[in-house]
Amino acid sequence: MGEVFAGRYELIDPIGRGGVGAVWRAWDHRRRRYVAAKVLQQSDAHTLLRFVREQALRIEHPHVLAPASWAADDDKVLFTMDLVSGGSLAHVIGDYGPLPPRFVCLLLDQLLSGLSTVHAEGVVHRDIKPANILMEATGTGRPHLRLSDFGISMRKGEPRLTETNYVVGTPGYFAPEQMMGAEPDLPADLFAVGLVALYLLQGQKPDSQALVERFAAHGTPSAPNGIPEPLWQVLAGLLQPDPHARFRTSTGARKALTAAVEMLPDPGPDDEPVEVFDQIGPLPAGFGPDGPVTAPQPTADPAPPGPAAAAAQQAVPQQAVPQPSGQQSYAPPPASMSETGSFHLAPPSEGSPPQQQPYAQPGLQQKKPIAAFTADAPPPYAVGTPGPSPAPASGVPHDPASTRAYTDQQHPSVRHAAPHAPVRRTRPGPPPKVAVPVLVVALICFAVGIWALTQV
C-alpha cells in the first residue's frame, strides 16, 4: 500500500511528472474516491509562491481542471484535482496523427468555452499547449477535454513572480508580444489556442516563428493543405501577430468557429472514428473500484482445519482482487520533465529575433516544517461527481516504501517505523485548534515577505 499523506490521501502510483513535482493517482479516505494529487518536490520560496497561487484558483467549469483541495504534512505539500484518465491531446495525436477538421472544431469549441470562464475571472493561463489539455477516456463517444495546469497563471494586475526581461512559458507557444516583454494579457492565450489547433490539424508542432514571419510578409496567407478555408479564417484570427488584430475574447472566437462549422463538409462513411483510450491503466494490486481492498481477518479456530477447509482458505487470496480481463499491465510513464520555464529576453536587434536563454532560479532559504493540515474547497463542476461522504476508518496497512522515493527525497536520514506496529505520537505545545490557524497565518506572512523581497 502507498504512503498516507496528512492522514487523508493515500498515494498509489505515479501518473506524470512536471518541473516542480510528480502527479500521483491517490485515494481520498475522506471523500471515498480516486483523485489526482500533485506533490510539490521543491520547497524554495519562489516555488511555494507559485503553489499558493495555483491552489488558490477556484474555477468551476466542465472544461477546466482546477485544484479542489490541498494538504500540508511537515515539509511536503500537495493539492488534488479530479482524476482524468484519457491522457492529453499529445496522446491523441500520438495514436491517430492529424485529426479530422470537425473533430478538431469540437475540441476547439470546448477549449474556448473553458478559457472564456478563466478569462472572465481575470486570469491569464500563460501555458496553453497540448500537454496541458487533458482528455476524459470517452472511447468513441463525444470527446471531453479539460484545460489544466495553472502553475504559471496569474490574474491581471497581480505582481509578477518573474524578473524583468524574462518570459515564462513553453517555447514554441509564445505570442509575439510576449517575446517583446509585454505584460501577460488575454490575447496571448488565444494565440496559443491557434497554435494548438494547427497542431491537431497537421499532427505536428507548428513553427510559430516562421508562421509570424509569413503573416508579417504576406498578410493573412492562404490556407495550408488539409485545412478547410472557413476553418482557416478562424485560425488566422487567432494567429495574427498584432494582438490588436487578433480576436479579443474567447467568446468572439467561439462565435466565429460556430459559423465556420456550418460550412464544413460532412464526414464520409469511411472516416475512422477517433477513440480516446484510458492512458492511466488498471489499478495496482490491493485497490479496487471502491478503494483499498482490506485483507480478511483470520478467525480463531480451536480445531485444526481439515483438507477441504485448508484448500478453501488458500483460494481466498486469489479471489480477493479480481483483475479486469483484456487489460495489459501498467508501467509508470517515464520521468519526463516539463518544457515550461523562464527564459531571458535579449535586447532586440535589427533584423534578428530575440534569443532565448534559460533562466536559473537562485536558491533561497527553505521553509521550516509545518504541522499536518488540510483544506477543502468546493469540488469542481462535473457531471456525476460523487459528493462528500463520511469515510470510515481504513484497515489498510501503512507501507511507505513504494512512494518514499518521490516524497521523501530531502530527508534521506529519516526512516519510517515498521508498518506492523503503529505508535501514537504526541507533540508538546498548544492544542491543534490554536496551533493550526497560527501556522497558516505564519505561512501566508512568510510568502508575502518573500514576495516583497523580490520587488526590492
Tens digits of per-residue pLDDT, 398-424? 454 544 444 444 444 444 444 444 445
Task: Look up residue 342 and give its three cell numbers.
Answer: 523562464
What mean pLDDT do residues 122-144 have? Answer: 94
pLDDT at residue 396 in the model: 42
Q: Is the dihedral of CA 219, 223, 225, 226 positive or negative?
A: positive
Q: How far, in Å, CA of 425 to CA of 292, rounded? A: 25
pLDDT at 105 over 50: yes
pLDDT at 141 over 60: yes
**Residue 16 in contact with residue 22, Cβ under 8 Å?**
yes
First to last CA, the chain: 47
Tens digits of per-residue pLDDT, 50-77? 776 666 778 899 999 988 888 888 778 8
Q: What is the CA radius of gyration of the chain?
A: 25
Phi first, then psi, for residue 140 (nearest 5°) are: -95, 5
pLDDT at residue 380 in the model: 38
Least Cα distance to 260 among 249, 271, 252, 268 occurs for 252
Q: Where are the alpha helices (DSSP H) in 296-349?
A: 307-320
pLDDT at residue 229 in the model: 95
Tens digits of per-residue pLDDT, 323-371? 444 433 334 444 444 566 555 555 555 544 444 444 344 444 444 444 4
Render 194-207 in DSSP notation, one character per residue.
HHHHHHHHHSS---
In which element (H, E) is residue 116 found? helix 101-120
* Count of other CB atoms within 10 angstroms of residue 348: 11
pLDDT at residue 455 in the model: 76
Phi first, then psi, for residue 10 (nearest 5°) are: -100, 110
Task: Look up residue 356 and give its three cell numbers.
Answer: 532565448
Confidence category of residue 451, pLDDT binned at 50, 70, 90: confident
Residues near 66 by Cβ (< 8 Å), separated by ≥ 6? 57, 58, 59, 60, 81, 150, 380
Q: How far, in Å, CA of 39 to CA of 212, rounded? A: 38
* Count of other CB atoms within 10 angstroms of residue 132: 25
What is the value of pTM for the model shown? 0.66
Confidence category of residue 255, pLDDT binned at 50, 70, 90: very high
